Amino acid sequence: MRSTHSKFIRLYGMPIGLLIVLLVVQGIYSNVPLFSLLNLKHILLETVSIALTALGLSYIMISGEGDLSFAGMFSLLTVIFAMVSNQFNNFTASFLAVCSVAIVVNLFIALLVTKLKFSSFIVSIAIMFMANGVEKGLHQQTTLVQDPTILSFSTIEFGLPLVVLIAAVAFVVSYFLINKTKFGFSLRIVGENKNAAIEAGINTNRMKIAAYIIAGFLIGLAASIESTRVGAIYEQGKFYMLPVFAGCFLGSSMFVPGRANVFGTLIGALFLGVIEKFMNMINVESHIVSIAQGVILIVAVGLVAYKNRDKIEQVSL
């Protein structure tokens, strides 16, 4: 029987540890204003699309599946956004186009995974490579988003940028959806114990498909936001695979240990955003940033796995 003391560490150890890391870093480099108001705004703005994609992935992971396709889809969606917005100069049109593409592709994956019982891993890898191919086929060089009103969504002149508010709403809604509604309860049961879910009369396939569709919408939203923020689009998704996964896995090591959860994902994504911003501020080269992200991912997941080493299978994929 675990004591309450160790339970507290199990639930909140990771976020507190991350906060301590950040404070120590701030203490060492005290000349860098890491937590100034302007800087925090920048961090939020830059983390929004990672956080939203990670939230989408969390839905899929809560329902007991995994997904890789977003790494390729993200680039493709930003390219589609830029192309449609340059054609029609209209945010709504481009947003709808991007979201519908994302939802249709995710629905396709979900049908393969649930109805035909394909390995979600291989299917999503195939979709990732296919999306990469299409993305490179559609454009060869950087595509620019030209409409100034679209670009203005991500400016930080007054108050919080609009996109940050949108992301905040998405997270709050997701929290209530997953933790407080019947839908969320069924979704979690499907992910945790499939047989129990079937016994309880839950249509597991339908729940998984719903999770994939929500994830598709969130990835579409994230890609639209990324396009408005960056403006010049070139292979945006290439370096998103790791931060998104790291955010999700960091998140599943806190609050509800062992399971993807909304707040954990938010904190994980924010932590990665802060670290990356910090490294940019002290002029670390980009390849050191990628080393750091790789190490964070392995160490974070490794710590949790090591702590629970007697409870997990010896080798699992």
Partner 1 sequence: MPMKTQNSTLNQKPRFHWLSPQMRMFLVLILSVFVIFTFTIPNFYYIRTANLNNILTDSVIPAIFAFGMGIILASRGFDLSLGHIASMIALIVAFLMSGGIKFDPILAVLVGLVVAGLVGLINGLLVSRMGISSFIVTLGMQFLIIGIRQIITHGQSVYISNASFKSLASTQIGISNLVFVLIIIAVLCYILMEKSTFGRKVQFIGENIEASRFMGIDIRQYTMYTFILGAILAAIGGILFAARAGAVQINSVDSKLLDAITIAVFSGVIFGRFKTTGIILVAILISMISTGMSMLGIKTEWIEFMKGFILLSSIFLGKLLNIKSSIFKLKLIHILKRSN
Q: How far is the CB of 244 from partner 1 (least distance, A)?
A: 11
Q: Measured between alpha carbons, how far is residue 282 from residues 41, 134, 203, 268 in Å? A: 18, 37, 51, 22
- Judged by beta carbon, residue 66 or residue 231, the one nearer partner 1 is 66
Q: How far is the CB of 40 from partner 1 (least distance, A)?
A: 26
Q: Are 268 and 249 in contact (CB under 8 A)?
A: yes
Q: How far is the CB of 265 from partner 1 (least distance, A)?
A: 13
- Judged by beta carbon, residue 129 or residue 234, the one nearer partner 1 is 129
Strands (E), 110-179: 143-144
Q: Quick one: DSSP state of residue 312?
A: S
Q: Quick one: DSSP state of residue 107?
A: H
Q: Are 301 and 249 in contact (CB under 8 A)?
A: yes
- Judged by beta carbon, residue 5 or residue 30, the one nearer partner 1 is 5
- Judged by beta carbon, residue 38 or residue 116, the one nearer partner 1 is 116
Q: How far apart are CA 55 and CA 99, in angstroms?
A: 15
Sign of torsion, CA 256 257 259 264? Answer: positive
Q: How far is the CB of 276 from partner 1 (least distance, A)?
A: 12
Q: How many CB atoms lie within 10 A of CB 264?
A: 25
Q: How far is the CB of 168 from partner 1 (least distance, A)?
A: 26
How big is the chain, counted in residues? 317
Residue ranges that bind partner 1, judged by CB under 8 A: 61, 65-68, 116-134, 136-137, 191-192, 241-242, 245, 249, 252-253, 257-260, 285, 287-291, 293-295, 297-298, 301-302, 304-309, 311-317
